[in-house]
Structure 1
């Protein structure tokens, strides 16, 4: 039997840690390996337990979640930002720090499970409740031409990534092979400096390449 997705949960509120921890333990395919009360403890426990995904609260003492996400991203550890507030600054700050997903704390069990599994697969996971905040905060007038020497096809692939499509779905939409899409994705990520799909989504909106 395949092992479940190993998750570390970090939140400074004990009631949240216990409540979410209980929920995570009930989800099939999810294994809660540790809980932390602040960013520093999250980094220590991540080094010890090597989780696949870290669910990280953004507002914590000693070290906030955004800085912890930044340091985890540098290690290659995937994080999902978890917060009560879906405000613009926290959404963008977390994504720019390297978060691959973003959930509000009122997300349902299946939504949390889907987000954790998506991020573990290397995909992006944004709570629908905060997607409009990302759009409102980073939308800018489209610049003439394409930025960062993107080709028209790469820009098209980027727009579809911003819609939430997987490589396979993009291949079906464009009637090309998944290998071709993967090549486009690798090239455009290198050009725009994106580490993952979540950062690519932010870039797409910021440069007027996403389809609103």
Structure 2
């Protein structure tokens, strides 16, 4: 698993695999929102949790089609499928590489970007926590969608249509935790739901992703 993870990280950095692209897109969204809704701090503070989570979700979409597509095009996926490494482990490594190049940078940059939207300081901790818990689920779901569409020409749009509905529960509970944290309300219930989504994705989706890859390689 480690060699596959290292290989994907190297490709992401050197071969234009999406490293930094999601972070740049996230920054663009955060910068443009005040131009669209106005510079009122009170309004920006109220909508910041939802905007930041929507921005993180859309940023994760940008590089999903690269998770398996490049390996499929150069024949590496066939070799990986016939190697001693189980496809479930391969799927987990691919999702982990996507999270390290997309979800982790978004999580680390979120406090600074939150300040640009006048996010209350009391909500910064909850923003970082929910992104750290929720973005792995986005990568796992995205890897499953990428496995379903691998081999399809121009499958990026179809991938987005397939994945977006599956992202909605993570978006709802992640933004709700941040909103409640900003208002000083209890956050335990939506936080548990968010953690449950990630735990369920980690337990189920590597197997579903591996099955989708097997079907597409037949």
TM-score scaled by structure 1?
A: 0.26
Looking at secondary structure, tell me which structure has more helix per residue: 2
TM-score scaled by structure 2?
A: 0.26
Greater RCO between the two (CA within 8 Å, min separation 6)? 2
